[in-house]
Amino acid sequence: MPMAALQSGTPRHEQVAAWLRDQITACTLAPDAQLPSEHALCERFGVSRVTVRHALATLESEGLIYRRQGLGSFVRRPRVPTGLVRLTSFAEDAARAGFEASSEVRHLGTEPATEALAQKLGVAEGLPLTRLDRVRLADGLPVAFDQTWMPPRIGALLDGQDLEHDTLYHLLEARFRIPVLGGTLRFDATDAPALVADALGLAPGTAVMRVSRTSLTTGEEPVFFQCRHYRGDRVAFDLTLARDADRPRGEYPMQELDAVFLPAP
């Protein structure tokens, strides 16, 4: 590999990083392709291993590469955001991000409504609810695990449905003509309980992102309440705000809330 000339006035690690960045953005280095070894980069640019490692650390912090201990550095797949400003299904989010979505049903049955669930769904405490547990997969890798509770009239509709490939939104809207008109989302971080950790292939107590969702139909009637846990190493959320001079100080209207699917290193 011929030695590349470096320009004066620009730190050497930045020039090495820029060259690698250009190879990635031009698709000369494809997703999951291995980068030249540290030794090869040292020879190509006539720099020290410290300089090369600084350049690689820069690219890793930018989300362009990932490193595997003992194997080297590899190109990450692009982080493609999917909008969550409107209510979307997991399949819609994954498809927009370029992944093939599927699900694995872990549980489908009934259980009495707790006080908290009764309040969420607007039903009487103790009413038998349908509970659906699914592992959500993107390109075959577990990304999220969700539990969904539905009142009896909605839960009864799931009998015989393909819950591994169809979404609740599609079933309700396209098959049963029950429009999902809105809902509420809440995001928080929590430690994965044993059930969630097992479903996602994590150690119990690993930090995960929890998204609680209540979806509503006509008349603001709840159709289901869902609690989804995302693996933090495979999904992130980007929030875009606009600063509006006409609004009171401290109030910034949300423009976008994007789920970003990350490749598994």
CA distances, 183 to each of 100, 131, 245 (Å): 25, 19, 28
* β-sheet bridge partners, residue 212: 186, 227
* Phi, psi of 207, rounded to the nearest 5 degrees: -70, 135
Secondary-structure percent of the chain, ordered helix, strand, coil, rounded to 5:
30, 35, 35
The reported pLDDT for the residue numbered 115 is: 95
Among candidate residues 59, 97, 95, 57, the one with its CA nearest the CA of residue 78: 97
DSSP 261: E
Mean pLDDT across the chain: 82
pLDDT at 67: 85
Look up residue 32 and give its DSSP letter: T
Transcribe 202-258 into DSSP letters.
Answer: --TT-EEEEEEEEEEEGGGEEEEEEEEEEETTTEEEEEEE---TTSPTT---EEEEE
Question: Cβ(22)–Cβ(35) under 8 Å?
Answer: no
- Specify the pLDDT at position 250: 46
Q: Which of 243, 91, 224 is nearest to 165 (CA)?
A: 91
- List, in order of start, the domains of the chain with CATH numbers: 12-75 (1.10.10.10), 81-261 (3.40.1410.10)
Q: Give the count of alpha carbons within 13 A of 238, CB side only.
A: 12
| Residue 85's pLDDT band (cuts 50, 70, 90) | very low
Give per-residue pLDDT as tens, 173-209. Answer: 888 999 888 888 888 889 999 999 999 999 989 999 8
